[in-house]
């Protein structure tokens, strides 16, 4: 259908059980299917964008799917070196999980602070840098966001441990 290529099992001319699907937009999936949907364990790969033409421009999810969505446990590897391992519910981060952020100091995983306020929820930056660079988050997630108990660690060794709430 629609320019995609499937290799694998068919039942009554429909995708069934296990196979490999290359979508028209370049995404690649190898894994289990049910009712022509990604369902069960599988691996999905896609390009982050078309502007970075290196081999590290790939995002990858290894885990369980339900109705074409990340659902259950999985490992999501981000372009640039970061990853998330933990629970998903209907395509959103959910339950217990751990984010490890990439090391690009210019990326969006940094929190800007003014010169007079080098703190994040009581965590001070030991150096006099303008930013606290995130290293990792381990804890509870709900509806795709940090929510509940967790630990947020920064590259300078400081951390915040406590509650996170959806605003």
Dihedral angle computed from the Cα positions of residues 100, 119, 107 and 95, in that order, rounded to the nearest 10 degrees: 30
Predicted structure pTM score: 0.78
Q: Which of 120, 86, 78 is nearest to 102 (CA)?
A: 78
CA distances from 163 to 52, 77, 107 (A): 37, 26, 25
- Taking only the tens of pLDDT, the chain with its 167 residues reads 588 999 998 888 888 889 999 999 999 999 999 988 999 999 999 987 755 556 667 899 999 999 999 999 999 998 878 899 999 999 999 999 999 987 654 444 433 333 323 334 444 444 444 467 889 999 999 999 999 999 999 988 999 999 998 77
d(CA 63, CA 46): 15
């Amino acid at each position: 259908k629609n320019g995609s290529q499937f290799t694998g099992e068919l039942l009554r001319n429909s995708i069934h059980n296990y196979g490999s699907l290359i979508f028209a937009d370049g995404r690649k999936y190898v894994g289990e299917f049910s009712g022509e949907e990604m369902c069960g364990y599988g691996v999905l790969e896609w390009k982050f964008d078309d502007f970075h033409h290196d081999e590290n421009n790939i995002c990858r999810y290894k885990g369980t799917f339900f109705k074409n969505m990340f659902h259950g446990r999985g490992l999501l590897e981000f372009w640039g070196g970061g990853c998330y391992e933990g629970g998903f519910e209907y395509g959103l981060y959910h339950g217990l999980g751990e984010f490890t952020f990439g090391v690009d100091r210019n990326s969006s995983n940094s929190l800007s602070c003014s010169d007079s306020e080098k703190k994040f929820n009581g965590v001070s930056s030991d150096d006099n840098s303008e930013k606290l660079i995130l290293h990792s988050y381990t804890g509870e997630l709900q509806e795709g966001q940090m929510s509940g108990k967790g630990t947020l660690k920064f590259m300078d060794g400081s951390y915040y441990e406590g509650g996170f709430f959806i605003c």
